[in-house]
Structure 1
Amino acid sequence: MPRSTALLIGLICLSGCQVAPVQEMSDARQAIEAARFAGAEQRAPKELRAAQEEIASAQRHLQAQQYSRARDDALEAKRRATIALSNAERVPKVPP
Structure 2
Amino acid sequence: MTAIHPAGPAARPAPLAPGALPVVGHLRQLLTDPTGFLTSLPAHGDLVEIRLGPRPTYVLCGPELVSQVLLAGRRVSLRLHRRPAGVPRPAGSEGEQ
Q: TM-score, normalised by structure 2?
A: 0.23
Q: What TM-score do you get using the length of structure 1 for normalisation?
A: 0.23
Greater share of helix: 1
- Bigger radius of gyration, 1 or 2? 1
Q: Which has the higher contact order (CA 8 A, sep 6+)?
A: 1
